[in-house]
Structure 1
Amino acid sequence: MNDATDGFPLESASRAPLLPTAHTPRASTPRVIAEALRAAIIDGTLAPGAPLRQDAIARHFSVSAIPVREALRQLESEGWVKVEMNKGATVARLTPDEAREIYEIRSALESLAIALAIPNHTAATLAEAAALCSAAEREPDPALYVTRNEAFHTCLYAPANRPQLAEMISSLHRRGERYLRLKFGLPEYKGASDAEHAEILAAVERKDIAAAQALVSAHLLGTGEFVHRFLTERAQAEAAEAAPRRRRGRPARTPSTIGS
């Protein structure tokens, strides 16, 4: 994250490529802006906590403030951005508790979805799921793997024919994407995930609802616990590293001044 900026706009083209521009406002402009900002957050150009100034973003894309606000609202709903009254928008920070909760909720919803879907699976839908599982297994790029991972899960649940349930699950996939990228940024965990996918698919193919539910639940809860532990340990390590610098840089504050 050393190349991350302090916020938007991006000050130095030598440190990171400029975001694409949208010269002419149009119906899809909020989506274009949201996708550009999301990409900058993913690749680390915009660090957690970095401010996102609406006026600067509007100037960059040559648009009014309206599509910028829409883009930020969309990113906020997906967990990428935090908007606070009188403080504006910032890149949302990754937190262990949020990660675990997202996967706990996904476990409950996706266990239901797979149970509803299994009786409706056909040879064609199972073949599609198998192809997506295989494509994910062969995918070496962590970013693309996240996309293939979601496509596989979505395919497993589609025959449930529950559009509201599908939308809730899709929303949680979007909110959890940043956390999932942490896991798949560590190659040693990809093999375990691929094996779990294969086990889930096998249970769906033999129409074993109980086994499929148990496997999906374990797969998702395990991911949530992994990311929670990873973020907790990383925060502890960063705090331990920063403590000596704080002691050298300024006197320790007395309890009465903490938080003031």
Structure 2
Amino acid sequence: MDKTEEYRLHSIDSIGRLPLSEQVYMSLKQAILTGSLKPKVKLSEVRIAEQLNVSATPVREAFRKLAKDNLVVIKPWKGVTVKGYSPEEIVAMYQCREVMEGLGARLCAERCTEEQLSELQEVCDAGIHTENPEERVAINSRFHTLIAEFSGNDRVADYLADFREMVNRDMYISTSDKTRTISCDLEHQQIMEAIHERNGQLAEERMRAHVRNAFVFKKAHAELLAKQKEK
């Protein structure tokens, strides 16, 4: 059954001259990624429009964009809910992600140009030097996206792009854990070392280990939340 709760959306007044639908989209997307809007929560077009002081039209347009990002589910006659995933779906996603991210890292190490390598290193360094959660998530997403793009395999890049926002939701959780943040930075550096060495096998092994570690952290976090609810 869908859950309901009070929406906590940031004002869109300060985003500038973007179209209203884009502003509403960004506000809702941020709320979903950060957990302010939780999985399975039903989104009311009317209530969101009232809170953000806009008409229903930009809200509907924002819903469609969020659906393309796999962040919400739109069901005719039933409405819109924040996308949730079963434990089985999460396991399956991380299994596929490990394989595809690993392949992307291998191909990137073997194929990327020196210019691309420099850009990738800059992004890696930027992630290490910021503590802002939103910046860290954006930089992490950029790091993984670039590796996929620089693999030269469009299928890898397209496949990983399909669930990048799901990964970003998990990243917001891990940014609140200092130990995982430090480990993540170290893992990124180790991946970069392998890519610099043009060692495709090592780059793949380190990327796959990085994804497995992310899954272990997510699983432990979910188990902790479940125990807290039982108390």
TM-score (norm 2): 0.82
Residue 111 (str. 1) matches residue 117 (str. 2)? no
Q: Is the 8 A contact 1:200 1:216 kept in 2?
A: yes
Whichever residue aligns with residue 169 of structure 1, its letter is L
CA contact (8 A) 1:96 1:228 kept: no
Letter in 2 for 1:19: S
Q: Classify 1:27/1:193 alpha carbon distance in 2 versus 1 (closer, same or farther; 3 Å).
A: closer
Q: For structure 2, which runs of at least 5 residues remain unmatched after alignment?
A: none
User: 2:11 maps to which residue?
Assistant: 19
Once the 2 structures are TM-superposed, how far is the Cα of residue 126 of structure 1 from its aligned partner?
1.5
Give the whole-Å Cα distance in 1 for the aligned partners of 2:205 and 2:121.
19
Q: Which residue of 2 aligns with 1:217?
A: 208
- 1:45–1:27 distance in 2 versus 1, CA, 3 Å: closer
1:157 maps to what in 2? 148
Once the two structures are superposed, the pairs formed by residues 162-173 of structure 1 within 5 Å of their partners are: 162-173=153-164
Contact 2:45 2:56 in 1 (8 A): no
1:88 equivalent to 2:79? Answer yes
Tell me if 1:36 matches 2:27.
Answer: yes
1:22-57 deviation per Cα after TM superposition (whole angstroms, max 9, x unaligned): 9xxx99443322211122334554344433112333
Percent of pairs identical after alignment?
24
**Which residue in 2 is equivalent to 1:254?**
none
Q: Answer whether contact 1:100 1:227 (CA < 8 A) is retained.
A: no
Deviation at 1:17, TM superposition (A): 6.5
What one-letter code is carried by the residue in structure 2 that aligns with 1:31? Answer: E
Is the contact between residue 45 and residue 59 of structure 2 (CA under 8 Å) also seen in structure 1? yes
Task: Output the aligned Cα RMSD.
Answer: 2.8
Which residue of structure 2 aligns with residue 50 of structure 1?
41
Task: Answer with 1 or 2: which has the greater Rg.
Answer: 1
Q: Which residue, out of 52, 62, 69, partners 2:60?
A: 69
4+ aligned runs moved over 6 Å, structure 1: none
Cα distance in structure 1, aligned partners of 2:228 and 2:56: 42
Quote the Cα distance in structure 2 between the aligned partners of 1:156 and 1:41: 25
Deviations 1:44-86 (A, max 9, x none): 5434443311233345453344x43332233234343244454
Larger CA deviation: 144-153 vs 74-83: 74-83
2:25/2:63 contact within 8 Å kept: yes
Matches of 2:88 and 2:25, distance apart in 1? 25
Name the CA shift for 1:27/1:233 in 2 (closer, same or farther; >3 Å): closer
Choose 196-205 or 30-39, whichever is displaced more. 30-39
Quote the offset at 1:144 in angstroms.
Answer: 1.1
Q: Match of 1:89, SS? A: strand
1:131 maps to which of 122, 126, 130: 122
Segment drifting more, 135-144 vs 152-161: 152-161
Is structure 2 residue 8 aligned with structure 1 residue 6? no
SS of the residue 2:163 aligns to = helix
Instruction: Measure, in 1, the Cα distance between the counterparts of 2:206 and 2:32.
Output: 32
- Counterpart position of 2:134: 143
| CA positional deviation for 1:208 | 0.9
Deviations 1:167-194 (A, max 9, x none): 2212222122111211121111111111
- 1 CA distance for matches of 2:163 and 2:39? 20
* CA deviation string 1:150-181 (max 9, x = no partner): 21222223222333431221222212211121
Structure 2: how far apart are the matches of 1:17 and 1:158?
A: 33
Q: Any idea what SS the aligned residue of 1:201 has?
A: helix
Does the 8 A contact of 2:70 with 2:163 survive in 1?
A: no
Residue 195 of structure 1 is aligned with which of 186, 193, 200?
186
